[in-house]
Amino acid sequence: MRRFSSKFLSTLGLVIGCHTLSVAQTTTSTETVWSLEQCVAHAVKNNLQIRQTGLTIEQAAIDVNQARANQLPSINGSGSHGFNNGFFLDPVRNQIQNTQIWSGNVGVNGSVNLYSGLQTHNSIKRNRLELEASRLDQQKVQNDVTLNVVTSYMNILLNQEILRTNQERLNLTQSQLERTQKLFKAGSVPESNVLDLNAQMASDELNIITAQNNIELSELQLIQLLNLTDANPANFSVVVPNLPDPDQSVIGFNAEDVYASASERMPEILRTRLRIQSADKSIAIAKGGYHPSLSLVGSVSTRYSSGTSLISLGSPFSQRTLIGYQDENMNQPIYIYNEAQERSQKEYPYFNQLQDNIGQFIGLNLSVPILNGFRVRNNVQLSRIGLRNAQINSDIAKNELKQTIAQAYTDAIGAQKRFTAAKKQLEAFEQAYRNAEIRLNNGLINNVDFNVARNNLVKAQSDIIQAKYDYVFRLKFLEFYQGKPITL
């Protein structure tokens, strides 16, 4: 199997890298560059979780409208039509008949609640509080998405900084390898030095690939938060701001000041207060079950029966009736004469019956609770438990906010101190590395001692980068809880 020299592989990698760079330069014309402010604004409008909470707000608004509508009268219409064969109570004549008959009725009834222990009134207030709490729920999701966007954005910048450092490290290793190969050909250093540097160069290349993968993963996370369906890491990039070093600024506030400001404006605190008020209204609604309920009811109805006929009067005639005799032999009868009319039955039309049989009713309906299986009492107790639960949730939210702010403040102070120490450490290790490089080239130390100095420098570079971005993120986090806009 043919083996290629490290010089050939390096040249091939350089050619491929140049080609990739040229292709990238030709395709960046369609690349979208996003600033942090643009990312936050776009995520607030298009993030799926935020849009989902908008549906919850719409549902809460419908609940408010329904609670208001419950004050309106309730009106319903009804109608029926059927056939009977056999004994049947005629709904029009109110007579039992044994026949085949068609019957039906039509009616409209309504009611309006006059008093029910103020349950409807309190339901309106409670649903309004829940609507405001739902809006604060959406603000909480917006804040979470905003902080997630900032985290992903900062991770991209951090990994880009790590990639740049790894590339510089690879260039140093490449230069050191070229010098060591010349010294090896001159017989000044053993071949093991060349082999060690080849291995170190492969390790540096692996670190570059890892950093590139981390950049793409962070970009994918940011793309998902922005809900960009047609974007991918190949045509997505962010603005790289000029971030000041942590030792150039002083944190001019403390954790207590941040918490005092956040507790008056953050939605996770405000919504718990609203839900305490909502739970209190739920108790009032449940207590309303102890009160009598009074409602005004009324109805209009009519009916029809095919067994009902229309009686008509014909021509008048004189009718004679025997009432007695004038003598005992009953020879002279006595008659009384009165006028009468002929009677006849004919069909009673359907719509005529509906018009003639209209009945109206209006009245008051009073319901007094006496014994209902302790349902009202248990509902009141459950509502009181809900109030205590809401109060505990409020205390939990306050403690979580206080802990989060205190942790962020402590991390920011620690990151600032770590940066100052890492900066001094980096200066010392850079000087030690340059000294070790000179001594290695002169054959005064071996590769093991040189790698120790190099690894110390690598760790110092990594520490100072991590401390810098950790400080910037924590500082922006605290500024956000103070109500300041997030900018870089």
* 354 falls within a domain: yes
DSSP secondary structure letters along 143-211: HHHHHHHHHHHHHHHHHHHHHHHHHHHHHHHHHHHHHHHHHHHTTSS-HHHHHHHHHHHHHHHHHHHHH
Average pLDDT over residues 100-127: 91
- Based on the fold, state whether residues 269 and 308 are members of the same structural domain: no
DSSP secondary structure letters along 219-262: HHHHHHHHT-TT--GGGEEE----PPPGGG------HHHHHHHH
Q: 33: exposed, middle or buried (C-beta count within 10 Å: 0-12, 13-18, 19+)?
A: exposed
HEC assignment per residue over 8-75: HHHHHHHHHHHHHHHHHHHHHHHCEEECHHHHHHHHHHHCHHHHHHHHHHHHHHHHHHHHHHCCCCEE
- Based on the fold, state whether residues 147 and 129 are members of the same structural domain: yes
* 154 falls within a domain: yes
- Give the pLDDT of residue 160: 92
Average pLDDT over residues 390-412: 94
Average pLDDT over residues 376-403: 95
Q: Residue written as tokens 């309920």?
A: 293
Q: How far apart are CA 11 and CA 123, in angstroms?
A: 77
- Based on the fold, state whether residues 382 and 408 are members of the same structural domain: yes
Q: 54-68, 226-240, 341-355, 380-394: which range is least confident on average?
A: 341-355
- Give the pLDDT of residue 318: 57
Q: Could you say which of 344, 367, 390 is where a domain stops? A: 367
Q: How far apart are CA 222 and CA 40, in angstroms?
A: 10
* 28 falls within a domain: no
Q: Tell me if the pTM is above 0.85.
A: no
- Give the pLDDT of residue 16: 39
- Give the pLDDT of residue 50: 92
Total domains in the chain come to 2
Nearest to 295 by CA among 361, 362, 366: 366
Q: Could you say which of 315, 339, 367 is where a domain stops? A: 367
Share above pLDDT 70 across residues of the chain, in percent, rounded to a whole number: 83
Q: Which residues of 69-79 are buried (b: 16+ CB within 10 A; e: fewer)?
A: eeeeeeeeeee
- Give the pLDDT of residue 4: 38
Hey, which of 47-56, 81-90, 222-231, 323-332 has the most confident mean pLDDT? 47-56
* 488 falls within a domain: no
* 6 falls within a domain: no
* 329 falls within a domain: yes
Yes or no: say if 459 and 393 are a contact pair by the CB < 8 Å rule: no
Q: Could you say which of 367, 393, 417 is where a domain stops? A: 367
Q: What three-state secondary structure class fits 302?
A: strand
Q: How far apart are CA 405 and CA 397, in angstroms?
A: 12
- Based on the fold, state whether residues 258 and 402 are members of the same structural domain: yes
- Give the pLDDT of residue 26: 39
- Based on the fold, state whether residues 54 and 196 are members of the same structural domain: yes
The pLDDT-based confidence of 351 (bands split at 50, 70, 90) is confident
Average pLDDT over residues 478-488: 86
The pLDDT-based confidence of 200 (bands split at 50, 70, 90) is confident
How high is the mean pLDDT of the chain? Answer: 83
- Give the pLDDT of residue 91: 66
Average pLDDT over residues 146-169: 91
- Based on the fold, state whether residues 264 and 194 are members of the same structural domain: yes
- Based on the fold, state whether residues 107 and 142 are members of the same structural domain: no
pLDDT in tens, 205-255: 999 999 999 999 999 999 999 998 887 777 888 998 888 888 666 787 889
Q: Residue written as tokens 């890492």?
A: 422
Cross-sheet strand order for the sheet of 96-115: 74-89, 96-115, 293-305, 359-367
Yes or no: say if 304 and 80 are a contact pair by the CB < 8 Å rule: no
* Structural domain span for residue 445: 33-72+117-291+372-481
pLDDT at residue 109 greater than cutoff 80: yes
* 1 falls within a domain: no
- Give the pLDDT of residue 137: 95
pLDDT in tens, 434-466: 898 888 777 777 777 877 888 888 888 888 888
- Based on the fold, state whether residues 90 and 183 are members of the same structural domain: no
CATH of the domain at 232: 1.20.1600.10
* 164 falls within a domain: yes
- Based on the fold, state whether residues 256 and 322 are members of the same structural domain: no
pLDDT at residue 306 greater than cutoff 90: no
- Give the pLDDT of residue 270: 95
Share above pLDDT 90 across residues of the chain, in percent, rounded to a whole number: 46
- Based on the fold, state whether residues 112 and 97 are members of the same structural domain: yes
- Based on the fold, state whether residues 255 and 395 are members of the same structural domain: yes
The pLDDT-based confidence of 6 (bands split at 50, 70, 90) is very low
- Based on the fold, state whether residues 99 and 59 are members of the same structural domain: no
The pLDDT-based confidence of 332 (bands split at 50, 70, 90) is low
Q: How far apart are CA 125 and CA 281, in angstroms?
A: 7
